[in-house]
Structures are given as structure tokens and as C-alpha cells.
Structure 1
């Protein structure tokens, strides 16, 4: 009888976790620019091709490629091809019909943007990718003296003096990608916020520990049973040359939830950054607000 009782208690606990995660709803998504605007110049002479990469912010948003040739009828490139992941989306015909031109696109977690320009030198196009219904992005420059990048309503990331030898652009974004959810579910358990915080430092990794301050919505706090407490989790790729199998979430560091400010504070080692997740080899750390049993 006691074993049957424990079985039903376990089932009820599991159901409560599923219901918590299923009923969490946040309306903080908005329309954001996830790439650009970036200008591509047509120099004199032969055709030129540019290639860039960008990351998806969410799989649930609606993405749009926006291209403008020149400005105010001047400096327009006559022959244009803009492709996403090898598929041409906008060309010269589109820009002759509408300038700027925009089209809804399908994207992957990591995407390749290719721009080919032909014709007279001295002209240019401007390209950006927009997402309707995505989480926001914030970018700041961290000097050798240190600094903070704040994603309003979500998180602040602070680097100490000496974390970067030279001024470095750092991007903080909130995303909701299925592969991250899958990794979290494999190596962690319990309710979590439906988005993760990504910290990207480009091609330069910090060389010192850094602080994160994560906002926790009232609705998430209110949804938790009394036997859960809020913690931060970081996705750790260890050892550095290990395959994806070793890219797991860990709470093996001190994180503190403040019920007054409704924030989680954590200090993370620079080992939280890795350049092995993306094709462009940029350094990234991923943080999630989750829970543990008390």
C-alpha cells in the first residue's frame, strides 16, 4: 500500500510540473531586428559577393528579409541577389518593383546570408532581418575597464575590469529554441522559464568570471509549488573539445534568488563561454532560470 501511495504522489508531482510549464505564458515578445541594418558596397570592377551569418531568436516568430538599394533614388545597385541559406529571396526585379523590398522568410537556428552585387561601382544596398513576435536583443560595448549590458525586463550581464583586453561588443538576447529546451530537459528537471538568455561576445571570449542578474516574472513565481526554489542554470560545454553530447546544463555554481527584487544573481566562470555551438565560431554563454527541489 505504501509503494502504491508513493507511486501516485510521484505521478501527481510530475503532472504538476507539466501543468506549470504548459500554463506559463508571457507577452514580452515584440518586433525586433535580429540582423543589421548592414550596408553592402559595390566597388568598381568585378561583381562582389558578401557572406554573413546570423542566429534565430525564436522558432515561433515571423521573419522578414528587408533590402533597400541606395537611398532616395540615388546610389542604387542595378543587379542584386540576396539569398538566405542558399535560396535567393530578393533580386533586382523585386527592387525595381518596390524599393525597399521585403519578403517573409523561413530560417534555421544558424543562417547564412549571401549578397551578390553587380554593376557600377560606388553604389550600395542595405539589408536587415526582422522578427515579429521574437524576444528583444541588446548590444553594448565592454571596455577593458569592464561594463554592463542590460536587456530590459530580462537580464543584466556585468564583466569586471580585465575581462577583455580591448573594447568588445557583447550581445544579450532572449530566445526560445527547441534544441536548447531539449538539452535542458536531458540534464535538468523541474519548471523553467520558457526562454533562455544568450550572451554572445563575438570572436573574443572573456578571460574572467562575470555576473548575471536575471529577472523572474511574477507569474512564474506564483506558479511554483512550495517545494521548489528558483536557481540559475548555465549550459556548459566540457571538456572544450568534447562532442555535443557533453553540452549540458549545470547549476554547479552559486545563484541566489531575491524575493524582493524578483531577480536571480549568479557569478559564472568564463568557462561558460564556448565557440563550438555555431558555424561562425562566435563565443556564447546560455543561461536559464529554472528550479530545484528544496
Structure 2
């Protein structure tokens, strides 16, 4: 009985001693721990071994590794901006320095071929043979207008100089231009009035009585070379469609024509009593000198 009580007392004393020792050690640092709280491993020789680097590829677990720390890439040094300046120099060499063009005017001269009845088969229906319906000769003309970047609007007049008559045209014109440095290719469309003047005839009275009037539609193209910002020289080719009419003559006018005509022509003079119409054409090649402001 005494021995059993002694054993219980020894057990209580031992438990109290162990509890006191544990409480005393709660505030003490763990042996081998680093100041930052990470534990270090003590080698058998007593030296502390460093904790392995968590970003070391050899420490990957299951094929996964923590991402490396983020770093900001340093900007690459900027290359000297020589390309832009070089391109500007090349553009200046190609450019004529023309600047913005607002107003233009030009004069032209060259050769023209005209057929008053290009699309008509029977000549007697139009002039009855009293006036020549085909001619070759010189051409002079002038134009003036405004330019809006690639487009031009203006007016143009021309005079075709032929032996039997003159062909006058006057109307509006619209063009599209493609500036290529000093070169300026263009295409133009025109429409307006056309008429014959100074008509000559071998028959007395026919020249004064016969009048031919109508309209034209023109398409042309050319190339201008700017020798300076305000002056250019160029060449132009154009084709015109002529829609012409001849008013019918009175009986008095026909009698005057018959009085000066031979017998075969007297019979044809009666054809002039009815109005005649025709569709003709004209082809022209000209040299052009222009001013630009």
C-alpha cells in the first residue's frame, strides 16, 4: 500500500516537471532556426547548412516550379532616325516643287482632220455637194480654269483653219490629273457648241445661204512637263464627235443658188429646201504651253 502511494506521487512529480520545462521553452528560439524564422539544418560537424533555393530547377516537385521573380526589361537604345530624313530628301528630289495649283491657263496649236459626215453615207442629204465635208489643216486654241488637287474645271475654245471653211468650238472641260513629280499626265472630257464659219463654195450664193451648226463631245489625253512651278510644256491628242444640222433654205435662196450653178447642180439645189443633219468627227494633235498659279 505504501509502495503504491509512493509510485503515484513519483508520477505526479514527473508530469509537473515536464510541463514546467515545456512552458519555459515556448519563448526560446528553436535551435538551428535562422533569425527570419526559416529552419536550418545542422550538419554532424555542428555547422549550419543553408536552406536550398526554392527557384533551383533541381528542386522542382512533380514537374512544377515556382515562377521566377518578375523583372522589368531594359529599353533598347533608339536607333538614329536617319531613314525618315533620307526619305524626305528623296521626295524633295522627285518633287518638282510645284506647290498647290489653283488657276491654270494654256494655249495650243497643231494639226486637225475633220469629217463632217463621218457617220453619214449620203452626202446629198447634208450639203448636196455645195460645201466640202472633209478637211485637213491647222488648229489653234486656248483654255482657262481652276484646279482642285487632281481635278480641273474650265472652258476651252478652238478654231480649225481649213481652205473651204473654219470649224469653231467653244465649251466646258473637266479633267483628271496624276502628278508624277515634274510630269503631269491627264485625261479630259469636253462638251459645247460647234459651228462652221467663213464657208466657201464654187457656186455663187451657196456660201452665204448654207449654215451648219451643232454640238461636240470631246475626249482628250496628254502629258505636261513642268519646267518650273508656273510654266509647263506638253502634248495633247483629242477626238471629237460632231452632231451638226443644216437649216432648210427658203425658195428665194435656192433660186439664187440655181442662178449661178450648172445644170447638174441646179437639180441638187432643191435638196437644200429640207433640213439636213450629220454626225461627224475630228482628230487633233497639238502642242500645249501652260501657266499655273
TM range, smaller chain = under 0.3
**Normalised TM-score (structure 1):** 0.21
Q: Structure 1 or 2: larger helix share?
A: 2
**Normalised TM-score (structure 2):** 0.21
Whose Rg is larger?
A: 2
Q: Structure 1 or 2: larger strand share?
A: 1
